[in-house]
Structure 1
Amino acid sequence: MLTDMQVRRLLPTGKSYKASDSGGLYLQVSPTGSKLWRMKYRFGGKEKLLSFGSYPAVSLSDARRARDDARQELREGRDPSLTRKQRRAQAASSETRLQAVGEAWLAAQKQKWSDSHYNDVETTLIRLVWPKIGNIPIPEITPPMVLSVIRDIEKKRAIETARRVRQRLSAIFCYGIATGVGFSDPADVIKGALAPLKKGKQPAITDLGELRQMIADVESIPAHPVTVLAMRFLALTAVRPGEVRAMPWTEVNGNIWEIPAERMKMKRPHAVPLSRQAIETLAAMHTLTGRGPLVFPNARWAHRPMSENAIGYMINRAGYSGRHVPHGFRAAFSSIMNERLPEQRLIIDQMLAHVPKDKTEMAYNRAQHIERRRIIYQEWADILLDGFVSPMDLILRPRR
């Protein structure tokens, strides 16, 4: 019989060879040095082989347990290569870990998704799931384990994010079932235990004075400068938060931000004429992130977008939880500027990339009206940030 010391000391030679243990179990050592646990047995008059995974991912004791399970199946008259028990014996292999299966699932989706959506999904899994249950083999993950992860997200008042994470976990478990490393979907059975999602409009401050005070309060608390300047840029442009978070420097064309169709919700390209204050914000950001691909990258990984919750958490920390969310800047811009410029409703709708309601508006929207939109954006920036500190001053503020 083999010992742990003997297994560790097995070295490659010029050709593949076997180191036998007992009960048909042996370790096959390849010329490259890789070591694979295998078991030779007979069933139905034929000699067959089982593979239990590679060493050291599958230890000697793990391999022996897998062998014993397989021998029990043989005693019961079943071929272990076709049974659920034998597949479960491979759970110690790193390929069955949730993170490994999840990364394989992500790779399978890459061609179907936009880069921004792929990065969003990958980032949420890296931040919220892998640290907690990523190293657990899929067959060992139970519904209470998944529910614990989801409830931790809900406690941070990110109920929509929690639901999206559950859906993504469910897709990973289904992928595991399809590829033969899993047997159930514990993320599916917890749906009824999730916190209720409140339907309706997202909270937004639409009074100009209160909105200015909110921005001032948020910018006064310690926070990462990328998050602070991302919120200011979001407020100035009134685009959707995801379009700011995944914004690459290549989309900035002089004083116009050109967002391609694949990054827009309605899959139509969108041009944002930049106000003086928005250009100053980008200039300040360039001193921080100009050498990387993204304007507002993740604090840890420069090639990934900032967290989808970063701006919202910062607003909440300033005392505005339930009163304003990042998406609320769109409602604020629409309400305030439509009240100031009621005759420009169609242009303001175009600036918000809203879907035209009829053919007349659709024809109107075909004209970009760039200069008129630039004037409106500049008026918005002037009334919104009058008297505020410059973006470069924000960079020097205390960090969290």
Structure 2
Amino acid sequence: MALSDIACRNAHKSDKAKDGKAFKLFDDKGLFLLVKPTESGWGKWWRFKYRFDGKEKQLSLGTYPEVSLGQAREKRDEARKLVAAMIDPGENRKAVKEARADSFANSFEVIAREWGSKKVQTWDEKNNRSKRMLERNIFPWLGAKPIADILPKDILASLRRIEERGTIETAHRTLQICGQVFRYAVATGRVDRDITQDLKGALPPAKGEHFAAITEPKEAAELLRAIDSYQGSLPALCALKLAPLVFVRPGELRAMQWQDVNLETAEWRYLVTKTNVQHIVPLSRQALAILLELQPLTGHGRYVFPSERTPSGIRCMSENTLNAALKRLGYGKDKMTVHGFRAMARTILDEVLGVRPDFIEHQLAHAVRDPNGRAYNRTAHLPERHKMMQQWADYLDALKQGAQVIQFPRQA
């Protein structure tokens, strides 16, 4: 007789279960329910018995009640169709499983995360910008798709969603990241070419990101005095004080690590994320004083400015912390940003203090080339840059104290 759902549900209560041994309840056409004791009671497994190439075989169809009697019969019938077509259901299942595994291993998301972990220094950080862009804009639609099956129009559709939010710069940046992932896939033999090249001109031109900055000495003095009055946490206060002294990119300041700081030589050496080159930041006496003040609090951890939400110190300060602090001081993003300290230093060092532009450009970690087209190395003009950074720090101190602004002749 064919099985009923009641018989399946009460199988462990039947007479066959009294001796505590495994037994089978047969349906028809090769389907049966295997019932056997487990550590937590009784388990019930659906099995389909069939013959293929003269050999008796069994195919697992799931467990009861997760797979109902009706669903088990449907799976049995599908397997019987394969047998009739001279296809072994067991071997077919293995092939499908392997194909799915191969498809997953070559999905866009898997390859993108592999690229990030190998090529992006700060990829493991929660707030890594490239990772966040992919997770928000690409993975939900293309992440599970094999990278070789993705077409330019698929990427463009995702970029259009970003564009509709009014963030065309983000769309361009996301396209660049996708291009890097595809080039990595080409290098590792997953695809033949970078299809993002087909999307050149598909997006409206980006206007270019503008960072508000204060470049007038008088206004800079007011800002510096406001920073000194900040009532937030000590790491945030120290980061705000250090930002104008070193004028590095905000992400590099936030990710500053104690292991990269040499207090004896007064230098901070790290890898510039934008250009992937080593960079040296001479530290003025004022910068050293800030770091020494903070060291007892955060010096035991990895980051100079750890995340305030992660007491263990395994993550650096959030990218919003310092701009939010400036906003609390009355300097919104339309007036001043942390990135704006770079423009402040570039303008005043050149126009007020008369420092040689190539010294400034080196310190900004910009690509500076000599007359022969060779890029200067990271130690170029290092003694002069040490002097410049101390001059800059002294000037800012004098500015805060209300000293008269004097125009200096340009240095030779």
- Provide the TM-score with structure 1 as the length reference: 0.58
2:359–2:385 Cα contact (<8 Å) kept: yes
Residue equivalent to 2:391: 379
List aligned pairs for 1:220-259, cutoff 5 A. 220=229, 223-254=232-263, 255-259=265-269
Residue equivalent to 2:325: 314
Distance 1:64 1:169 in 2: 45
Q: Could you say what secondary structure the match of 1:270 adopts? A: strand
Distance 2:116 2:48 in 1: 39
Distance 1:36 1:241 in 2: 59
Residue equivalent to 1:210: 219
Q: Is 2:310 the counterpart of 1:304?
A: no
Q: Is 2:380 the counterpart of 1:368?
A: yes
Distance 2:223 2:331 in 1: 9
2:370–2:376 Cα contact (<8 Å) kept: no
Q: Is 2:360 the counterpart of 1:348?
A: yes
Counterpart code for 1:211:
A
Q: Could you say what secondary structure the match of 1:269 adopts? A: strand
Q: CA deviation at 1:235?
A: 1.8
Counterpart code for 2:211:
Q
Distance 2:168 2:320 in 1: 11
Structure 1 residues 364 and 105, CA gap change in structure 2 (3 angstroms): closer
Identity %: 28
Higher RCO (CA < 8 A, seq sep 6+):
1
Q: Deviations over 1:236-258 (max 9, x none)?
A: 10112222222211111124334
Distance 1:167 1:71 in 2: 49
Q: Could you say what secondary structure the match of 2:390 adopts? A: helix
Distance 2:32 2:172 in 1: 45
Match for residue 340 of structure 2 among 321, 328, 336: 328
Q: Which runs of 5+ in 2 are unaligned?
A: 13-21, 146-154, 182-202, 402-412
Residue equivalent to 2:15: none
Residue equivalent to 1:60: 66
2:162–2:170 Cα contact (<8 Å) kept: no
Residue equivalent to 1:287: 296
Q: Deviations over 1:256-278 (max 9, x none)?
A: 33434x44433332211101121
2:45–2:61 Cα contact (<8 Å) kept: yes
Distance 2:45 2:301 in 1: 45
Distance 1:361 1:281 in 2: 38
Q: CA deviation at 1:52?
A: 8.8
Distance 2:244 2:277 in 1: 22
Distance 1:164 1:229 in 2: 31
Distance 2:178 2:72 in 1: 28
Which moved further from structure 2: 197-206 or 23-32?
23-32
Distance 1:223 1:63 in 2: 64
Q: CA deviation at 1:113?
A: 1.6
Distance 2:399 2:284 in 1: 16
Counterpart code for 1:256:
A
1:214–1:320 Cα contact (<8 Å) kept: no
List aligned pairs for 1:77-226, cutoff 5 A. 108-109=114-115, 112-119=118-125, 198-217=207-226, 220=229, 223-226=232-235
Distance 1:75 1:374 in 2: 80
Q: Could you say what secondary structure the match of 1:259 adopts? A: strand
Distance 1:227 1:271 in 2: 23
Distance 1:138 1:368 in 2: 47
Structure 1 residues 40 and 107, CA gap change in structure 2 (3 angstroms): farther
Q: CA deviation at 1:352?
A: 1.3
Distance 2:285 2:256 in 1: 19
Structure 1 residues 329 and 111, CA gap change in structure 2 (3 angstroms): same
- Provide the TM-score with structure 2 as the length reference: 0.57
Q: Deviations over 1:205-228 (max 9, x none)?
A: 211222333344456555443233
Q: CA deviation at 1:381?
A: 1.8
Q: Which runs of 5+ in 1 are unaligned?
A: 7-16, 91-95, 173-193, 390-400
Q: Could you say what secondary structure the match of 1:116 adopts? A: coil
Distance 1:30 1:110 in 2: 47
Residue equivalent to 1:398: none
Q: For this pair of structures, how many residues does the alignment match? A: 338
Which moved further from structure 2: 37-46 or 310-319?
37-46
Q: CA deviation at 1:339?
A: 0.9
Structure 1 residues 358 and 168, CA gap change in structure 2 (3 angstroms): closer
Structure 1 residues 28 and 354, CA gap change in structure 2 (3 angstroms): farther
Structure with the greater alpha carbon radius of gyration: 2
Distance 1:231 1:196 in 2: 34
Q: Deviations over 1:185-212 (max 9, x none)?
A: xxxxxxxxx9995425432221122233
2:116–2:123 Cα contact (<8 Å) kept: no
